[in-house]
Structure 1
Amino acid sequence: MNQNEVNVVTRYKEILETFLGNKSELGLYQAQQFSKLLLVDQVSPEEFIDIHRAVLEELFPSIPSKVQDSFDLLLEVMMSYGLVYREHQILKHRQQELDSEIEVAASMQQTLLPKSVPSAEALDIGVISIPAKKMSGDYYHFVEGADGTIGIAIADIIGKGIPAALCMSMIKYAMDSLPRRKLNPGGLLESLNDVVEKNIDDSMFITMMYGEYNPTNHCFQYAGAGHEPGFYYDSKNDQFEDLYAKGLVLGISKASKYREYQKQVEVGDYIVFLSDGVTESFVNDQFIEREEITCLLRDYQNGTAQEMVDAVYAELERKQEYNVRDDFTLIVIKRKV
């Protein structure tokens, strides 16, 4: 027995004598403090049982043999418990490390998102993006061209956690380098598809919708890569239509081509980009209908674009009893003048 072990035994003997002598609160307090010492010295539960038995035998040599034998049973129980306990502590430590890493990644994700929406005389833009958990698989991005055009991207990374955050950063920095090359929506998705196909794991894919608004002729061109269809609101006819765009998910095939579509945006019209977390809102044990989303948009369309997206989220959150199950991203682009 080394000196440290001797000190532990001696200290425990003093505490046990004090407690058995007067059963005071002081003895209980000393025992609580002693348990911290056991943790520091990494004394296992079964080792402590041996210490307790040795101290009892020293204090009370005439302990009945059956009481002494009971310690053998207790020791066997505590050996199994000790193994499980140590494994639990290791897993707990690993979970704490993972939680810390997720906090860092979540913080990094926030730095990747735009700090504000583009300012354009003709447009009113609103956006809301709420992760279901700490990490989000949704991403949005704005590209302001030197000629005044405004690009809007929304993406859903199929995969969560830290890998999603890394993919998000790759998409951001790839897009940040593209305005210099002045690509149209289809060409931009082809370039991103090449980046994704070469750089991410085969188990991960990215859906995306990208559109570009030209303030000179008020034409909106867009293309999609397997992303949830948005909406287009025609104010003249007071009706919505789905904003479909055919195209394979990014990262599946390097030969993918992306067809372009366009809309002539009139005053009062607006464009809606969204993630599948909006259309897959779970209300009354079933997914919400797209028609219900357009009804909500119509209910709040007299407000600003930001008021619209905030109100739609608040309403869907309420309908889901404040238990949002998936990442939620909604973007509205309204033509003002």
Structure 2
Amino acid sequence: MARDPLFLGGEKKNIAPYVCRRKGVLHYRDLGKGDYNYAAWDWYSKPKTLRRPVWSEPYFGKGGNTLMVTYSVPVFVGENNNKFWGVIACDVSLNWLNKLMTSIILGETGYAFLVSRKGVYITHPNRNFIMKETVFNVAKKSRQPALTKVSQNMVNGKSGFVRMKSVITEKPSWCIYAPIPSSGWSLSIILTEEELMQNIIRLGRMEAAAGAAGFVLLLLIALLISRSITQPIRALDKATRSLAKGNLDAPLPVMDGEDEVAHLADSFETMRKDLKDYLEKLRQATAEKERIESEIHIARSIQMSLLPKRVPQSREFDLCAMLEPARQVGGDLYDCFMIDDQNICLVIADAAGKGVPAALFMAVTRTYLKALSWEAHSPAETLFRLNNELAHGNDGCMFVTLFYAVIHLATGECRYASAGHNSPFIMQSDGRVTLVPRAKGAILGAVKGLPYEEGMFTMQSGEMLYLYTDGITEAMNSAGELYGEGRAIEELKACKEMTCLETLDTMRASVEQFVDGAAQSDDITQLAFRYMGRDDYASVAKRISVSLPKYDLQSVK
């Protein structure tokens, strides 16, 4: 770095600190001291005059063994950059470049060389040419007019592809030359015509090698210039590596100023704080998710434990029920039990809400219902008393819909009451499917003292009563369409000759085909009861379904 001796005005003062590396050790001296007049040298005067960076002509350094080149950049200051401050220069050894050029294999006799802006050989296979000969001298000695024109074009920064005779092998060859814009040098490759024509593929490889050499040269020069600029970035990189390993408490280097590196450091500090906040929130969210999953598992266990382990068996009816839980725990429930030797009770219910609260509320509902059913009340009276029990102290405002039916096996008489639940379907012996007439009744647990209507119909031999929750009719496909009662009726018509288990399987398969892969949002609960009668059960006795599907509670999540 050399400052203009007259920059400060007044007395002339030379200041030119110089640093070089020899054998891995940095050496320093001031070129401004002593007799060295740097202002008279081209590396100083040319960039000052031209007001742009300048590459010097190659030269041998002190001792004559090292080929060097200098890159000089003028520095102007002031409001309009009109005041010359000095020159920043970098000396680059070219010994590596000559080794690189001679190491490039261009067939058996091909070679490459570099010439300066004045046509002086910088690299050449014949070391006697380096810094001693010019392309003009060689062209004159070889008496080749084409080579003289090539020499002029190379000095003028042109590129071309010309046929000539090699000065080394004296064989017909092709000369490829092109300028290096950043330095003003010219790169030339000599290939014998024989090798060129024999192997076109090899030519492509040689061109790629020459291009790679030029790229490496430019890359190295750029790295040398930018080295001093990247020091703060390296410090920042070291700190960010600690962040990358998860150490979010690692301090980042403080960068003063308003330049891009300082802004980058501030951005990394903001990122570090944001990452800490995000990970803390993620930890809390993960803990909450685990808590919810644990709650779902408990609720599912409660829900499944409420289901009867066995259903009543008799020659007078065919009975089957199944509950397929959704991912989110609902409050579905079914139950079936003999009140006495003549009467069987069928129950299906759906509690509001999800999770443990709904499961616990359904458990309370089932306990009360079992107790009240044994007291021989009518279905309407049973629901009336059940509602009063559930509404008492119901601070959580939970409620449940429920269908309750008692069937007299000797006569087929079915007495029922409904607490806001879906009306079941009756599959008649002639194949018709109808809804059970609705019996008015409010949801259970909302308000005490509400009355419930009681309905009654008589089942004929072979007729089936199909109870379900809204997981069937409100199943939704990806288009937002509901399965609905219409589809359920049409599907049940096809189940006329099926057993109860086959009917439930058919309905489940129909719903699954309709949703076509859409997520199941609610439990699907079904109960089918086919009345045989006292004297008409023999024809279907072998098809009676009395077992319940088994579910692995560990798989319910």
* TM > 0.5: yes
Q: Residue 143 of structure 1 contacts residue 179 of structure 1 at CA under 8 Å; is this kept in 2?
A: no
Give the superposition deviation at 1:71: 4.4
Give the superposition deviation at 1:165: 0.7
Give the superposition deviation at 1:253: 2.2
**Residue 141 of structure 1 aligns to which amino acid in structure 2?**
D
**Residue 154 of structure 1 aligns to which amino acid in structure 2?**
I
Q: Residue 379 of structure 2 contacts residue 416 of structure 2 at CA under 8 Å; is this kept in 1?
A: yes
Which has a greater percent of helix?
1
Alignment of 1:177-196 (within 5 A): 177-196=371-390
Matched residues in 2 for 1:249 and 1:115: separation?
A: 27
Matched residues in 2 for 1:157 and 1:206: separation?
A: 4
**Residue 326 of structure 1 aligns to which amino acid in structure 2?**
D
1:325 corresponds to which of 516, 521, 525: 521
Q: Secondary structure at the match of 1:119?
A: coil
**Residue 288 of structure 1 aligns to which amino acid in structure 2?**
Y
Matched residues in 2 for 1:269 and 1:66: separation?
A: 83
**Residue 384 of structure 2 aligns to which amino acid in structure 1?**
E
After superposition, what is the alpha-carbon deviation per residue over 1:239-260, rounded to whole angstroms, capped at 9, x for unaligned?
A: 2221122111112221111111
**Residue 330 of structure 1 aligns to which amino acid in structure 2?**
Q
Give the superposition deviation at 1:136: 2.2
Seen in structure 2, the aligned counterparts of structure 1 residues 199 and 311 have a Cα distance that, compared at 3 Å, is: farther
Structure 1 stretch displaced more, 133-142 or 151-160:
133-142
Q: Which residue of 1 aligns with 2:157?
A: none
> Does 1:257 pair with 2:451?
yes
**Residue 529 of structure 2 aligns to which amino acid in structure 1?**
I
Q: Residue 307 of structure 2 contacts residue 334 of structure 2 at CA under 8 Å; is this kept in 1?
A: yes
After superposition, what is the alpha-carbon deviation per residue over 1:96-122, rounded to whole angstroms, capped at 9, x for unaligned?
A: 122112112212211111123221221
Seen in structure 2, the aligned counterparts of structure 1 residues 282 and 182 have a Cα distance that, compared at 3 Å, is: same
Seen in structure 2, the aligned counterparts of structure 1 residues 141 and 67 have a Cα distance that, compared at 3 Å, is: same
**Residue 224 of structure 1 aligns to which amino acid in structure 2?**
S
Seen in structure 2, the aligned counterparts of structure 1 residues 72 and 124 have a Cα distance that, compared at 3 Å, is: same
Q: Which residue of 2 aligns with 1:240?
A: 433
**Residue 96 of structure 1 aligns to which amino acid in structure 2?**
E
Q: Residue 128 of structure 1 contacts residue 310 of structure 1 at CA under 8 Å; is this kept in 2?
A: no
Q: Residue 126 of structure 1 contacts residue 307 of structure 1 at CA under 8 Å; is this kept in 2?
A: no
1:146 corresponds to which of 340, 345, 350: 340
Q: Residue 122 of structure 1 contacts residue 335 of structure 1 at CA under 8 Å; is this kept in 2?
A: yes
Matched residues in 1 for 2:434 and 2:263: separation?
A: 81
Give the superposition deviation at 1:217: 2.1
2:495 corresponds to which of 268, 275, 300: 300
> Does 1:100 pair with 2:308?
no
Matched residues in 2 for 1:297 and 1:199: separation?
A: 41
Give the superposition deviation at 1:301: 2.7
1:275 corresponds to which of 469, 492, 498: 469
Q: Residue 492 of structure 2 contacts residue 503 of structure 2 at CA under 8 Å; is this kept in 1?
A: yes
Q: Which residue of 1 aligns with 2:221?
A: none
Give the superposition deviation at 1:272: 1.3
Gap regions ≥5 residues in structure 2: 1-233, 235-241, 538-557
Give the superposition deviation at 1:268: 0.9
**Residue 273 of structure 2 aligns to which amino acid in structure 1?**
M
Alignment of 1:15-164 (within 5 A): 45=248, 47-48=249-250, 50=251, 71-164=265-358
Give the superposition deviation at 1:183: 2.0
Seen in structure 2, the aligned counterparts of structure 1 residues 69 and 253 have a Cα distance that, compared at 3 Å, is: closer
**Residue 291 of structure 1 aligns to which amino acid in structure 2?**
G
**Residue 138 of structure 1 aligns to which amino acid in structure 2?**
D
Q: Percent identity?
A: 25
Give the superposition deviation at 1:202: 5.2
Matched residues in 2 for 1:191 and 1:183: separation?
A: 10
Q: Secondary structure at the match of 1:286?
A: coil
Matched residues in 1 for 2:263 and 2:480: separation?
A: 59
Q: Residue 391 of structure 2 contacts residue 448 of structure 2 at CA under 8 Å; is this kept in 1?
A: yes
Give the superposition deviation at 1:68: 8.4
After superposition, what is the alpha-carbon deviation per residue over 1:18-68, rounded to whole angstroms, capped at 9, x for unaligned?
A: xx9xxxxxxxxxx99x95xx7xxxx6x1x12x1x759xxxxxxxxxx9978
Q: Secondary structure at the match of 1:263?
A: strand
Q: Which residue of 2 aligns with 1:335?
A: 531
Matched residues in 1 for 2:414 and 2:407: separation?
A: 5
Matched residues in 1 for 2:270 and 2:431: separation?
A: 77
Structure 1 stretch displaced more, 128-137 or 89-98:
128-137
Seen in structure 2, the aligned counterparts of structure 1 residues 73 and 211 have a Cα distance that, compared at 3 Å, is: same
Matched residues in 2 for 1:285 and 1:134: separation?
A: 19
Gap regions ≥5 residues in structure 1: 1-19, 21-30, 55-64
Q: Residue 483 of structure 2 contacts residue 511 of structure 2 at CA under 8 Å; is this kept in 1?
A: no
Q: Secondary structure at the match of 2:294?
A: helix
Give the superposition deviation at 1:307: 1.0
Give the superposition deviation at 1:275: 1.0
Matched residues in 2 for 1:153 and 1:101: separation?
A: 26
Matched residues in 1 for 2:482 and 2:369: separation?
A: 33
